Amino acid sequence: MTRAVIPGSFDPFTNGHLDIVKRCANLFDEVIVGVGDNLSKKYWFSIEERVELAKRSTADIPSVQVRALNGLLAKWCVEHEVDVIVKGLRSALDAGFELPQATVNRELGDIETILLATNPALAHISSTIVKEVAANGGDVSSMVSASVQETLETKIRG
């Protein structure tokens, strides 16, 4: 069995994330959406909320599970017998960020990273853009699931 993890902060989980997950579900026996914390980011949602949003967004894909990640990704992958890390790339800027991480993960855990190009129709979507549009009263229905949109609206209303 081949197990892949798609790590990220998913604050919130977007349709771009969902596209990568669906495509990975066609490539691997088991896909784990790994929700983690990045020390350089300030989150709108707690890790528990982000896990729940990802679970709701991927509920109809049987081979997908969502888990919270903690610690070093490479070490987590070894402990959970994950074969490959998958990262979505929206642009060359993402590649510049992801390639050094892939090298470090290989050195630390001897784990391969696959960089999967984002569907061009979704390449403009990021969690940051979703939050900015939603916070300013814009329509994010094409960027996130209905469940995520509802949660965003509730969070904004306070």
116 annotated as belonging to a binding site for a ligand: no
Of 54, 75, 77, 62, nearest to 8 by C-alpha is 54
Residue 155 labeled ligand binder: no
Tokens of 106: 């290989």
Residue 90 labeled ligand binder:
yes
Q: Which alpha helices (H) appear in the chain, and where do they start and end? A: 15-25, 47-58, 73-79, 92-109, 127-135, 146-157
Q: Is 123 annotated as a binding residue?
A: yes
CA–CA separation, 74 and 60 (whole Å): 28
Active site residues: 17, 41, 90, 127
71 is in an annotated binding site: no
127 among annotated binding-site residues: yes
Q: Which residues are annotated as a binding site for ATP?
A: 9-10, 17, 88-90, 98, 122-128
Q: Which residues are annotated as a binding site?
A: 9-10, 17, 41, 73, 87-90, 98, 122-128
Q: Which residues are annotated as a binding site for substrate?
A: 9, 41, 73, 87
